[in-house]
Amino acid sequence: MIHINNFIDKIKFFESKNSKDVIIPMREAKDLHGDITKLLLAIQVLQEKQQTSPNNESVNVELRGSDF
C-alpha cells in the first residue's frame, strides 16, 4: 500500500502549496490503482469471512456483590 501513502503525501504537499491541481504520471496512477484494487479485494474477503463464519460465541459474565 506504499503507493496510497505516496499519493497521500503528494496531496499534502500540493495542499500546503495551495495548489488547485495535482497531476501524477501514468505509472504512479496505475500503481495507485493497483493498491486500491488490492485493498478493496482484501475488504471484500474479510466481509465474506465475517458473513460465513458462525458468530455463536458465548460470553459468560459472573458478578459477585459479596464485598459491598
Range in 29-33, 37-41, 43-47, 48-52 the model is least confident about: 48-52
The percentage of residues in the chain with a pLDDT greater than 70, rounded to a whole number, is 88
pLDDT value at residue 59:
74
Burial of 10 (0-12, 13-18, 19+ CB in 10 A): middle
**Contacts by 18-27, CB closer than 8 A, 24 or more apart:** none
| Contact in structure between 4 and 33 (CB atoms under 8 Å) | no
Q: What is the pTM of this model?
A: 0.67
